[in-house]
Amino acid sequence: MIRAINVQIERDFEPAWGMGATLRLETAIGNRKNIERLAELRGDAVLYLEQAVPTRDFDGYHEVNAAGIPHGSVQVDLAVALQEPWSVTLSHEALELIADPQANLLVPGPEPGTGRRVLFWYEVCDAVQAERYEIDGVEVSNFVLPLYFTEGQEIGGRNDFLGRCYGKKKKRSLASFRVNPGGYAGYTVPRTGQDKYYEPDELGQRRHAIKGKAKRTRRSTRYASLLKTRRRR
């Protein structure tokens, strides 16, 4: 799985995004991880592979770690609940860790339905999270391309790697700041500071609900941390 995802990063993701990384399997030091020290780190970031969703709190993908080290986790049980191979989850999280290691980038764009200016979260897989493809027999996650975070549509351009079409006669491809079936997009309303999700179909809503119950996903850990920071201020 790691070899296939490294091929995805090198051949598919990096040429499109101009940034990459190499996954390497390492053994944890000790019986319990220490997210403040991350003694087992032998690289630029850490992705923990765990069987079950942890019952205790931990932070991931943001700067509250005392050592300033980006990290997060992939839970096999959560992947099973989402009805996807955990290789897809690992691919998803690895690509998003490369694109936004601190998980705090925002991009201005039009809110679905109202057109008002909001700040979209810089997620490169959520909008197409239900789509996958194979590399050497291993399933990996689809991802959006840089054009996705720009308004309008360039002639001959596409907004995601697979470029699948949906709708009547399958002529509708992924539009900027929108989602494909099963996907969702999150954004913040600047005026109120309210966080919202755009999830127009049942599959996307169901997947989001499953992740929300876990309470240990990338999004929930990030915003729990931000909420604590706002309260302190």
Local confidence band at 124 (pLDDT 50, 70, 90 cut-offs): very high
How far apart are alpha carbons 27 and 48 in whole angstroms?
A: 10
How far apart are alpha carbons 75 and 144 in whole angstroms?
A: 23
- Distances from the Cα of 199 to the Cα of 5, 88, 105, 178, 207, angstroms: 27, 20, 20, 9, 10
How far apart are alpha carbons 156 and 179 in whole angstroms?
A: 19
Per-residue pLDDT reduced to its tens digit, 98-122: 998 877 788 999 998 898 999 999 9
Per-residue pLDDT reduced to its tens digit, 18-74: 999 999 998 767 776 666 666 667 778 888 888 876 655 555 555 555 567 787 778
